[in-house]
Amino acid sequence: MRIERGITQERLALEAEVDRTFVSQIERSIGNPSLLVLAKIAGVLNVDVQALFEPGATRPDLRRATPK
């Protein structure tokens, strides 16, 4: 989602007011962000918070192929 929008971890972190390493941890499913942080990240990405919980939302390599 972040990569698709051409946003770096650094930019996302800066705009969401969190550390870049925390963005990395969230993307690797080892960070535990608060609802406030999720809301800030969703705002930067211009999506609803719910979109962050969709399969593969934070890890493009885990995205499921959509059947045709």
Question: Which pLDDT does position 59 carry in this prediction?
Answer: 57
CATH of domain 9-61: 1.10.260.40
Question: Which pLDDT does position 65 carry in this prediction?
Answer: 44
- Both tokens of residue 10? 């650094």
Burial track 31-53 (b if 16+ CB lie within 10 A, e otherwise): bebeeebbebbbebbeeeeeebe
Q: Which tens digit of pLDDT belongs to each residue from 38-68?
A: 999 999 999 999 999 888 765 555 444 444 4
Domains of the chain, residue spans: 9-61
What would the mean pLDDT of 26-38 be, rounded to a whole number? Answer: 94
- Both tokens of residue 17? 């007011």
Question: Which pLDDT does position 68 carry in this prediction?
Answer: 43
Whole-model pTM: value is: 0.79
Question: Which pLDDT does position 64 carry in this prediction?
Answer: 43
CA–CA dist 30, 34 (Å, integer):
13
